[in-house]
Structure 1
């Protein structure tokens, strides 16, 4: 028998989503975020890059501000108004102390109970190889959730007025090949579609297919994949790490 997915915890108020690129959250997780903001929860976004290397036909100098605008508009569709960028170079993020420090600093600023990130494992479901940026940022986010609560790790953050925050209760990894929990995607589905459609320049660089047809096809396949493990409902899945 296939193990069933547990519902995500709901007893929290603030979340911080930390991912590598514009659109990372829109390929599924946005449906959960829409449901959470509808329930009055606060969700903020932190992006490591501006996704400037993501569109082959647009030079990075022009792609960066374009993708930033698309991400801010996309976040607004699901009720997120705080979107920050760390300005790492797209495609070449390296796991290490600098990225851990910057994410820990953001966690101390925002003081979330739930931290969300994207798959840090080598592969996605089906064996598709993950990207270096996703792996580096995902792993650094898991580590930074602990770093944020220890005043003796990155003590310079205290000097900057960022006191330790040990209130992160969970890190939820979206698109993990080893999901443990899920959120019903049905209430947020249409907003998830509109949110991903805001990344129009990126989508048009990916496919000649009609953007809405592409978006609905992708989300339908992604969100229905684990429905048998979640009572037949469309599911945004997460691998949940308690702290």
Structure 2
């Protein structure tokens, strides 16, 4: 008998999703986000980079504005208008105080009850190695959720008008190989396909498959597989850390 996942909490109004690159949220999370915005919840995106090192055929200074445009269009598909970029360097993000400070500042700005990030562990499970950027941003996000509420950590944030926010109740990690909770992806799945497809330049560089067929197959197959642990419904899964 497959152990079933718990439904994600619903008693919240604001969420902040913090990831390293454009397209990180579209590889699964977007279906959950579409459902949340449909319910009237506020979701904002914070990206550590502009994904400028993600396309081999494009120089970073040309790639960055293109990927930023695609990310904003992608977010709009699932009802997200607030998209902010931190301008850390793609591919060489370093875990440390500057990254924690930037994320804590954003948490103070957006004042979410739920923070979403991507897998911070070394692997995706087994021997599928995770990237340094994902690991750094995921871990820094978990730490910054606490930093944001402590007035003695990064006091310069308060001096710039970003007052402490200790209202983060959960950090939800997507892409974890040890999920605890899930969201029904049924209502948002079609829009998640369109949201990933909005990263067309990146997708076309990534695969020789038809971009729409690639996006649809990847997301629907993944949601169905995850749904085996969620009553058979297509699902987006999270490892939920409470605070």
Structure 2 length as normaliser, TM-score? 0.99
- Alignment correspondent of 1:44: 44
The alpha-carbon deviation at position 132 of structure 1 amounts to 0.2
The alpha-carbon deviation at position 2 of structure 1 amounts to 2.6
- Alignment correspondent of 2:193: 193
In 2, the alpha carbon distance for the partners of 1:34 and 1:9 equals 16
Dislocated runs of 4+, deviation >6 Å: none
Q: Does 1:146 align with 2:121?
A: no
The alpha-carbon deviation at position 158 of structure 1 amounts to 1.1
- Alignment correspondent of 2:6: 6
In 1, the alpha carbon distance for the partners of 2:126 and 2:82 equals 33
Task: Point out where structure 2 has 5 or more consecutive residues left out of the alignment.
Answer: none
RMSD (Å), alpha carbons: 0.7
Paired residues, number: 243
- Alignment correspondent of 1:120: 120
Q: Does 1:27 align with 2:27?
A: yes
In 2, the alpha carbon distance for the partners of 1:221 and 1:64 equals 30
Asked if the contact 2:45–2:82 (Cα under 8 Å) also holds between the matched residues in 1, the reply is: yes
Task: Point out where structure 1 has 5 or more consecutive residues left out of the alignment.
Answer: none
In 2, the alpha carbon distance for the partners of 1:125 and 1:29 equals 18
Alignment of 1:105-184 (within 5 A): 105-184=105-184
- Alignment correspondent of 1:217: 217
Structure 1 length as normaliser, TM-score? 0.99
Asked if the contact 2:37–2:80 (Cα under 8 Å) also holds between the matched residues in 1, the reply is: yes
The alpha-carbon deviation at position 126 of structure 1 amounts to 4.7
